[in-house]
Amino acid sequence: MPEYTLKIRRYSPETGDAAYWEEFKVDLEGHRSVLEGILSARATTDGSIGIRCSCRAAICGSCAVRINGKADLACHHHLDHAAAESPDGNTITVEPMGNMPIIKDLIVDMDAVHWKKIQRVTPWLLPEGPEPEREYIVPHENMVDVTQTMACIQCGACVSDCLSMEVDPLFIGPAALAKAYRFVGDPRDGQQYERLKDLAEDPHGIYDCTHCFMCIEACPKGVAPMSQIMRLRRVAGSDQKINDRNNGYRHEKAFVKNIEKYGTLHEANLLPDSYGGKFHPRAIPVLAGSLPAIVPALLRGKVTPAKALHHHKLPDQKQIRAIYDTVEGRDSRNELNLYIEGYEDEPVLKAAGEEERGPHS
Amino acid sequence: MKVAYWPGCVSRGFTPELHGSMAQIAPMLDIELVELDRANCCGAGVIAEHNMELADTLNARTFALAQQTDTDLMMNICSTCQGSQSECQERLDANTPYRDSINETLKAETGLEYERGIVNKNFLWVLVEDIGLDELRSRVVRPLTNLKVGPFYGCYVVRPTDRLGIDDEHPRDTYMQQVIEALGGTVIDYAGAYKCCGFPIITMNQKASLTMAGTHLGDAVDAQADCLVTPCPLCHLNLDLQQPVAEKVVGRELKMPVLHLPQLVGLAFGLEPKALGMNKHVVRPTSVIDWTQSVVGSAA
Ligand code: SF4
Ligand code: SF4
Ligand code: FES
């Protein structure tokens, strides 16, 4: 049987010692999970290794850890894959999740961070008006729309690797915001506007996400929290016209209009427009605040006054505007969710390198 | 090889040195650039956030323009363009009725049509997969010996891995390290290589945004890097243009030069920092200029 090395991050609060690494050898088949590796080390070598687990089948969400630096369910990651991903092809690094305090070894305090943030978004229905006499039948399209968020098993992997939360611990975060969409998208809920207003105005809300894809990469259930956050922004901005104090909607609107007007990005106009235009009171302190960045750029000739004032329109600008008119003129937005629709065939890009297809194919 | 070349908006706006250095090294790599000068902005994820169909239609237009050229593939020099365009392509290629509906708009408004399966690659991928590291090595005239370089990828070119075709056969998330080594440089391992520069939230939460940039730059300083190199001009904006402000936010001096990928290649091909537009950077690449001079000095 192959032998794998598990390099586990250890920490025991009662000793008062700093966290340290410890290596364990385990003899297991490659298709067994990292969780089984840890449990085997615990059974044969050191009974004090702390790990949380229950179902061992990627259902309960208890066993998320960082394997070779990336969050995943330990019971859902094969030993041979983990070894192949490791720098030396054999030593599998296992650490507790990030962004949460460590209780012991691989066990983190989910209450202090994850569950507190879930509570922050009021994760239950807030119906309005008199109770209906019969059961409320939710239209199929609405249920399908929130299905993806309902696949969440609350494992916290996305929270662990979220890069906004790393610098701003107050950020509501991917799991909780994905949960928020589950209720915003439910027609039985009566507080859609209030929920969105709250999440848009909070400086640590939907506009605090840096669009880093970490949560999409980490999630073992395909919830794609970042995509749910973009949905929340879409409904808050385009539908509810919530003009948040974080400049989130203004920035999006300025960017989209900028391309409609010029076809390619006119950066010099984007910044002031994101704050409501060059002469908007909101823009003045921000533009003044960006002087330390702009002055050296001007001195180096990176930003020239001519460039700031003139921007060439695309020769086919009419085409861009026509596309805008058609698409933005629809009664409702056309969206394709691949989580629900699936791929009709193998995606062509899967192995773009080997299946060389020119732009003509 | 001949590529349909999409430089992106930022390389023609605030980082002209990127576009310029790419134009200089392309002939040295036997790459013929057929510029897509009628193509439009990729949307940088923001248009998709606003209206997915709009982003997909606009990028289908760019793909269709590329498909009209007589080239081997489409190439970009911006991680963000790569990621945004790959996202739209994933939807367009996955579902025929959806693609047909996008093409209907496209045909009506522009006369163009997108045909499933375009190959669109970042310059980094082209370097490793199409030109090859051996070929690259053979063209180096001034190996980057003793130049300590930290890679900074940019989120859009490393995640999500399945959409970007990153797998065992195409470990695209290791290409920066491979290229730095092939050019003769020393790879600096530091915490920030795969993290976010913070650019997407610079107008929404400047403090968080520049804490990101400042932290990664600081980690590179601590790891004793001479410079960082990135395939993404938007990362360059937050890491270089905003560096003086990031220094204030994280409360330490940084002075970390940030190079565009084509500039690093150009350096190893014997071009001078100034010719590669490094004088346009906000943070003077002093360490890189010193290195260039020390190499010239030791040769003389
Ligand atoms: S995309 Fe947004 S929510 Fe997801 S990990 Fe990144 S910053 Fe966090
Ligand atoms: S969204 Fe995914 S990663 Fe995040 S808690 Fe839910 S299942 Fe886990
Ligand atoms: S033990 Fe339940 S998800 Fe891993």
Does the distance separating the beta carbons of B95 and A216 come in below 8 Å? no
Longest dimension (CA), chain B: 66
Q: Please state, in angstroms and as integers, the Cα–Cα distance from residue B141 to each residue in A78, A216, A337, B203, B298, following that order.
A: 45, 42, 49, 42, 15
Q: Could you tell me how many CB contacts below 8 A there are between chain A and chain B?
A: 263
Please state the pTM of the whole predicted model: 0.93
CA A97 to each of CA A59, A69, A294, B12: distance values in angstroms, whole numbers, following the listed order: 18, 9, 39, 41
CA-nearest residue, atom 2 of ligand 1: A209
Question: Tokens at residue A132, please?
Answer: 């209906």
Per-residue model confidence (pLDDT) at position A357 = 46
The mean pLDDT value for A274-288 works out to: 58
Q: Give the amino acid at B195.
A: K
Given the DSSP bridges, would you call strands B258-260 and B227-230 parallel, antiparallel or unpaired?
Answer: parallel
End-of-domain residue from the set A186, A212, A239: A239
pLDDT of residue A244: 92
> What 3-state DSSP class applies to B21?
helix
Q: How many CB atoms lie within 10 A of CB B142?
A: 17
Q: Count how many domains chain A has.
A: 3
CA trace torsion A254, A260, A264, A267 (10° rounding): -20
User: Strands B73-76 and B2-6, how do they pair?
Assistant: parallel
| pLDDT tens digits for range A106-131 | 999 999 999 999 999 999 999 998 88
Question: Which atom of ligand 3 is nearest to A155's Cα?
Answer: 3
Rounded distance, CA A95 to CA A71, Å?
Answer: 9
Find the CB nearest A293 among B53, B201, B241.
B241
Identify the domain containing residue A270 by its residue range: 248-328
Using a CB–CB cutoff of 8 Å, tell me whether B13 touches chain A: yes
pLDDT over threshold 70, residue A354: no
Quote the pLDDT of residue B11.
86
Residue at a domain's end among A56, A79, A108:
A108
Same domain, A117 and A90: no
Q: Is A164 in the pocket of ligand 1 (CB under 6 A)?
A: yes
What element of type H or E holds A116? helix A116-120
pLDDT at A248 over 70: yes
Summarize pLDDT for A285-325 with one digit per residue, the tens. Answer: 555 555 556 666 666 666 555 555 556 678 888 999 999 99
Q: Which of A213, A239, A265 is the last residue of a domain?
A: A239
Q: What percent of chain A has pLDDT over 70?
A: 84
Q: How confident is the model at residue A61 (pLDDT cuts 50, 70, 90)?
A: very high
Supply the CATH number for residue A131's domain. 1.10.1060.10
Q: Which 8-state DSSP code applies to residue B145?
A: T
Choose among B90, B169, B282: nearest Cβ to A351.
Answer: B169
Spell out which residues of chain A touch residue B82, defining contact as CB-CB under 8 Å: none
Closest CA to A274 of A301, A247, A311: A247
- Whether residue A122 is found in the same domain as residue A65: no
- Write down the mean pLDDT value for chain A: 89
Q: Which residues of A touch B4 (CB under 8 A)?
A: 359
Q: Are residues A122 and A231 in the same domain?
A: yes
CA of A159 from ligand 1 middle (Å) equals 8
Task: Tell me the pLDDT band of B294, cut-offs 50, 70 and 90.
Answer: confident
Sheet strands (E) in chain A: 3-10, 20-27, 64-67, 70-73, 91-95, 102-104, 107-108
